[in-house]
Amino acid sequence: MIKAARKDFDIHKIAESGQCFRFFPNGENAFVLVAFSRILHIAMQEDAVCLDCTEKEFSELWETYFDLSRDYADIRRAVAPEDAFLRAAVQYGEGMRILAQDPWETLISFIISQRKSIPAIKGAIELLCKSCGETLRDGESVFYAFPTAEKVAALSMEELRACALGYRAKYVQGAATMVAEGKIDLDALRTYDDDALLQTLLTIPGVGSKVANCVMLFAYHRLSGFPRDVWINRIIEEEYGGAFPLSRYKGFEGVIQQYMFYYGRSRARGITETA
DNA sequence: TGCCAGGCTTCAC
DNA sequence: GTGAAGCATGGC
């Protein structure tokens, strides 16, 4: 069990931020995360974050996954003083962090995400994991690891469609086949610069600008990634008259984007008054 | 019941 | 290069 000092870390905001779809509520201020074929119990206390892993796992995996070495307060301080919307967004989102997820899982998750709501995305991903992911037991509970590219590529179109993928089934099959056959090496892409990474991701079926930017940001941790979805476009239109001053936040555009997304979406659901 | 969702592909023009 | 149509389905 690791008990780390809690600084700028809110597991609710991270779990509900729409960048990862495999956090499961596990009591008050606690979640179970399924990632990298492992189960991680996370509990948040007033001044500490508890993770049920070894020191080795923490330093080799989860510290990076949760981006714990970065000072997000620095980023929030960069917000233009006159930008009332963004100031409110970063204040509301304090505790949010940009995750460094597995590229394969992130790629497929965001191919599935297109024109789906977050609850629907979660449902489809669970069906896919259950259909061919490794069974992971956690006491009385059973979870399923995110399936490998080989497992997904081996599914028939009928089996994929049974995972509520709709028209995205052919994209998932195409992407899985590319990865399984080695036509694209997602691990090797870590060495690419931002533009080469983006251009390579765009060659994958079902991956356009938005999905590619999500994968860059939420898997490869390229903070310059700026996914523009319906929420971000709506915010830019309504709050900035169609022109967001993106160049002001060069190098960490993606973090700003995530604060905007989380605040905008929460506000639309009428739950920001709790902030 | 109808609308919307962390969009992409295809095809005119 | 730009714009519009078409796409499957779950959740609210």
Tell me the nt nearest to A234, Cα to C1': B6
Which tokens go with A66?
Answer: 């949760």
Which residue minimizes Cα–C1' distance to B6?
A229
Find how far residue A195's CA is from the centre of its chain: 20
pLDDT in tens, A27-78: 999 999 999 999 999 999 999 999 999 999 999 999 999 999 999 999 999 9
Q: Which nucleotides of C are covered by protein (CB under 7 A)?
A: 7-12
CA A197 from centroid of its chain's CA atoms: 17
Contact residues for A218 (Cβ-Cβ < 8 A; gap 6+) = A19, A20, A98, A99, A100, A101, A106, A110
Contact (Cβ atoms closer than 8 angstroms) between residue A56 and residue A230:
no
Backbone angles phi, psi at A90, to 5 degrees: -75, -30
The single-letter DSSP state of residue A225 is -
pLDDT value for A73: 98
Average pLDDT over residues A147-158: 98
Active site residue A210: yes
Within 7 Å: CB of A128 and strand B?
A: no
pLDDT of residue A273: 59
Q: For residue A270, what pLDDT is reported?
A: 84
Model pLDDT for residues A66-115, shown as the tens digit of each residue = 999 999 999 999 999 999 999 999 999 999 999 999 999 999 999 999 99
Whether any strand B atom is under 7 angstroms from the Cβ of A208: the reply reads yes
Query: In chain A, what percentage of residues exceed pLDDT 90?
Result: 97
Pairing of strands A48-51, A135-138: unpaired
Taking only Cα atoms into account, the Rg of chain A, rounded to an integer number of angstroms, comes to 18
pLDDT at A106: 98
Cβ < 7 Å from nucleic strand C: A 115-117, 119-120, 123-124, 161, 164, 166-167
Rounded, the Å distance between the CA of A160 and C1' of B6 is 21
Task: Give the DSSP H or E segment for A137.
Answer: strand A135-138
The two three-digit tokens of residue A148, written as one number: 């490998």
Q: Which of A126, A106, A90 is nearest to A257 (CA)?
A: A90
Buried b (16+ CB within 10 A) or exposed e, A101-120: bbbbbbbbbbbbbbebeeee
Q: Which ranges of chain A would DSSP assign to H, the alpha helix?
A: 11-15, 55-57, 63-65, 72-77, 84-92, 103-113, 118-132, 149-153, 157-161, 169-180, 194-201, 209-218, 230-240, 253-268
Q: Is the pLDDT of residue A9 over 80?
A: yes
Q: Residue A231: which nucleotide is closest by CA–C1'?
A: B6
The tokens for A187 are: 């691990």
pLDDT 10s digits, A10-20: 999 999 999 99
Nearest nucleotide, CA A114 to C1': B7
| Length A164 CA → B2 C1' (Å) | 20
Q: Mind listing the pLDDT tens digit for each residue in A189-214?
A: 999 999 999 999 999 999 999 999 99
Q: Where would I find the H helices in A7-83? A: 11-15, 55-57, 63-65, 72-77
Question: Which nucleotide's C1' is closest to A115 (Cα)?
Answer: B5
Q: What does the alpha-carbon distance between residue A240 and residue A39 come to, in Å, rounded to a whole number? A: 41
Residue–nucleotide distance: A212 CA to B8 C1' (Å): 11
Give the model's confidence band at A272: pLDDT under 50 very low, under 70 low, under 90 confident, else very high: confident
- Which 141-200 residues of chain A approach strand B with CB closer than 7 Å? 167, 171
Q: For residues A51 and A62, what is the distance between their CA atoms, to the nearest angstrom?
A: 9
pLDDT at residue A275, rounded to an integer = 41
Fill in the amino acid letter for A209: S
Which nucleotides in chain B lie closer than 7 A to a protein CB? Answer: 4-9
Task: Encode pLDDT of A219-268 as tens digits.
Answer: 999 999 999 999 999 999 999 999 999 999 999 999 999 999 999 999 98
Distance C1 C1' – A233 CA (angstroms):
21
